[in-house]
Amino acid sequence: MRIGKQEQPYTAIATSDAEHITVRGYDLCDELIGKIDFSDYFWLMVMGSKPEPRQRAMLDACLVAIAEHGLVPSVQAARMTLAAAPEAWQGAMSAGLLGMGTVVAGSTESAGRYLDELRRTADANGGDDETAVVDSLKALKASKAKVPGLGHPQHSSGDPRANRLMALADEHAVSGRYTGILRLLEVHAPGIIGRPLPVNVSGAIPAVLMDAGWSPDALKAVPLVARAAGLAAHLLEESQRSIGFIMSHHADQAISYDGAPATGQYGEK
């Protein structure tokens, strides 16, 4: 992103006057409210046009697949924040969303970038996706790096969410180049890396969405929006049946101090 002087002070997303609010070329009150569901509206706002039915179906499926994932660190952070500041839903929600990095939820973006890199590499070398996949896996093996979009600590035989999303992409005739590259990774990774590496949900989401026409640059938005729904559920429950301080207490019990012992000599010469 360019920093400094900008020469095009425009936005194509929304505007308003005394009588109308316009979003992406549609009158908000006359053409959108009550006439479009949120997934369609999300796609419209981000991509600039209403989705086709198959695009909506895949976005809906991905949002449902990733909305809730139990008491992961980001959820714990949100719940403990609300326990400490019950008036600050916005702070608790922010705590949960800020914790979505490359390990939890944000891995969708990393996997999408990797798939797009493989596509561009293949295009630059005659369009051979399989060769690009094999060469990349060998390089990751040599550097002892993880394969983005593959592997799961619990679902070692296959992530059921990923399997369902890939099947839906086939059913809706969405599966294309990115889904194909992901499937090549799944075929070749076990032999090259040397262990089972099934496709995980963070690999399936970008593959099916990018095949559906979603921008790689907007991939992070999908888990953020989805997890906001999951966080809302956790925060309402936290306000009604708090476990924030219970989690904090268990953390205190589980972690042992291994620093230097107190000597009683602080400040003495």
pLDDT tens figures, 139-165: 999 999 999 999 865 656 678 999 999
| Number of folded domains that form the chain | 2
Does a structural domain hold residue 76? Answer: no
Confidence (pTM): 0.89
User: Do residues 136 and 214 both lie within one domain?
Assistant: yes
Amino acid at 65: A
Whether 267 has a pLDDT exceeding 70, the answer reads: no
Integer Cα distance of 228 and 239 in angstroms: 16
> In the numeric block, which tokens belong to residue 5?
């002087």
Instruction: Answer yes or no: is 194 within a domain.
Output: yes
Instruction: Tell me the residue range of the domain where 30 lies.
Output: 12-49
Same domain, 118 and 212: yes
240 part of a folded domain: no
- Report yes or no on 165 lying in a domain: yes
List the alpha helices (DSSP H) in the chain: 38-47, 53-66, 73-84, 89-98, 107-124, 129-143, 160-171, 177-193, 201-212, 221-240, 244-254
CATH number at residue 178: 1.10.230.10
CB proximity list for 219: less than 8 A, separation 6 or greater: 108, 109, 112, 113, 205, 206, 209, 210
Mark 163-175 as b/e (b = at least 16 C-beta within 10 Å): eebbebbeebebb
Banded pLDDT at 240 (limits 50, 70, 90): very high
Give the per-residue pLDDT at 107. 84
Model confidence at 99, pLDDT cuts 50, 70, 90, reads confident
Residue 264 lies in a domain: no
For 66-96, the pLDDT digits (tens) are: 999 889 899 999 999 999 999 999 999 999 9
> Which of 200, 218, 236 marks a domain boundary?
218
Least confident range of 48-62, 83-97, 170-184, 244-258: 244-258
Residue 81 lies inside a defined structural domain of this protein: no
Q: Is residue 86 part of a domain?
A: no
Q: What is the per-residue pLDDT for 151?
A: 82
Using a pLDDT cut of 70, give the percent of the chain over it. 94
Distance from the first to the final alpha carbon of the chain: 54
- 196 falls within a domain: yes
pLDDT (average), residues 9-28: 95
